Structure 1
Amino acid sequence: MVRLPLSPAEVERGQRLGALLRRARGERSMLETALDAGVSPETLRKIESGRVATPAFSTIAAIADVLDLSLDEVWTAINQPARGRRLVS
């Protein structure tokens, strides 16, 4: 199966997701967070670095739960348009 390239908006959203998770994790180790969420540390590292811009819903739900983030918070944070830009309909 060939995966289509990500759009610039998807890449940006993935970067915002990674930044949100890093901030929420704070001083907690990546290893501890990943194991508690039931994902590999490598998966968490890739998500936090923005290398996996579109992770599975269940993966994000598990990580958000461990970090006490609601899915509404995650959705709102990653879908904020970049400052200075406006959405065109």
Structure 2
Amino acid sequence: MVRLPLTPAEVERGQRLGALLRSARDGRSMLATALDAGVSPETLRKIESGRVATPAFPTIASIAAVLGLSLDALWAEVNRPDGERLAS
């Protein structure tokens, strides 16, 4: 199967997602977070760095659950228009 190149918007969303997850770890180690979520530390590192811009839904759901993040809020923040911020 050939994977189509990501659009600039997809790359940007992937970078936002990575930054949000990294921020939500709030001092918690990447290793502990990854293991608790059932993903490899390398996978989490790639997602957080934006190298995996479109990770699988179950992967994100697992990481979000470990970090106590709402998938609805995470989706809204990742897809917000530039310049807008969700209320904390």
CA distance in 2, matches of 1:23, 1:32: 15
Return 5+ residue gaps in structure 2 as ranges: none
Return 5+ residue gaps in structure 1 as ranges: 85-89
CA distance in 2, matches of 1:71, 1:30: 20
State which structure, 1 or 2, has the greater radius of gyration over its C-alpha atoms.
1
Deviations along 1:28-77, whole A, 9 cap, x unmatched?
00000000000000000000000000000000000000000010111011
| Residue 53 (structure 1) aligns with | 53
Which 4+ runs in 1 deviate beyond 4 A?
Answer: none
Name the Cα RMSD after superposition: 1.0
Residue 20 of structure 1 pairs with residue 20 of structure 2? yes
CA distance in 2, matches of 1:10, 1:81: 13
Report how many aligned residue pairs link the two structures. 84
TM-score w.r.t. structure 1 length? 0.92
CA distance in 1, matches of 2:7, 2:45: 21
TM-score w.r.t. structure 2 length? 0.93
Q: Which amino acid aligns with 2:52?
A: V
Q: Percent identity?
A: 79
Q: Which amino acid aligns with 2:83?
A: R
